[in-house]
Amino acid sequence: MSFNNTSFLIDDKILVKDFNYKILRGERIGIIGNNGIGKSTLLKLMTKQLLPTQGTVKMAKDIDLSYFDQSRSAIKSDATIQDILCENGSEYVKLSNSKTKHICGYLKDFLFDPQETKTLAGTLSGGQQNRLLLAKTLANPGNFMILDEPTNDLDMDSLDILELYLEQYKGTLVVVSHDRDFLDNITTTILGFEGDGVINYNMGGFSDYIKIYPRHKNDKINIKESTLISNDSEIILDNKSSSQSNKLPKKLDNKLKNELAKLPERIIKIQQKIAQLELEKSKLDDISSHDLIHINIEIANQQYELEKLENRWLELEYIN
């Protein structure tokens, strides 16, 4: 999918301005920016729900697109969970590659009680409806998946399940989220809305993006990044780093000692992989921009993994 000098205006407000970008097969894009700045508009341009007021949006012919809409328009309040997940009264959920799974087993994957197949969607909480829509979208996501604020109303367990599914997904992913941890864990590229229709680009996750464009440090964050500590009648928000340090054990058990012992080897392997990719890039005289972006994305992924492992090593070594 490619954007060519794409602009979109509504009521003289510029939401997208002269945007040029080609989404590569298998790319994992996070979209960030304040509310009302144009993020959902960009998604609707991708899905042809809106047409640009200037320029073009071209889609490859073989794209099999799935779309998670934050308004949950696919969740009909008078439909049962089974109606939404299964077709024609069946008890089986259609998955990718022509596979199926019984609805009871599939509901367990998304923390639903298997007895709830006949529950009306309108009686579910916001978080349950979000999980139901995710279950529907992830059952057969195609080769190009768009998720608009999928982390809204999700608890920690549901977020972990979503991340696990997305880690295993092999197609192209575009996701809008305010959850910084979530974006760092699953994206290789960030598109940042800077206002007045300007969209900047940077390889890596959210943390990499704000090093280049620090104005997003104060954007709205997801509650996952903080720990709520009840103190009688008041609630205190501790920052992520302090909450993490409080969770660390005072002494390493055998499992953590084993993890610590294996970390240096894992770090060396990733360092070697990065060096190999850098060497590969330097040897290519006539490298195309397409190949260069792919190599740079892989380097960014490896560097992110390296940083996580090094931080983990420091944590455990400090306790040891």
Task: Please report which confidence band the pLDDT of residue 30 belongs to, taking 50, 70 and 90 as the band edges.
Answer: very high
pLDDT of residue 288: 61
- Strand partners of residue 186: none
Q: What are the structural domain ranges in the chain?
A: 2-64+142-223, 254-319
How much of the chain, in percent, has pLDDT values that exceed 90? 26
Average pLDDT over residues 86-113: 86
Distances 12 to 8, 26, 125, 195, 220 between C-alpha atoms, Å:
10, 35, 37, 14, 26
What are the helix (H) ranges across the chain?
39-46, 81-85, 103-109, 126-139, 156-168, 180-186, 206-212, 240-247, 254-283, 289-319
The radius of gyration of the chain from alpha carbons, rounded to an integer in Å, stands at: 22
Q: What is the pLDDT of residues 64-76, one digit of tens each?
A: 999 988 777 778 8
**Cβ(13)–Cβ(196) below 8 Å:** no
Q: What is the CATH number of domain 2-64+142-223?
A: 3.40.50.300
The count of residues in the chain is 320
pLDDT of residue 248: 54
Average pLDDT over residues 32-53: 91
**Whole-number Å distance between alpha carbons of 6 and 56:** 6
Q: Take residue 51 and report the two structure tokens written for it.
A: 């047409």
pLDDT of residue 301: 77
Q: What is the pLDDT of residues 283-295, one digit of tens each?
A: 766 666 556 666 7
Q: What is the pLDDT of residues 212-250, one digit of tens each?
A: 877 655 555 443 333 232 333 333 333 333 334 445 556
**Whole-number Å distance between alpha carbons of 148 and 131:** 13
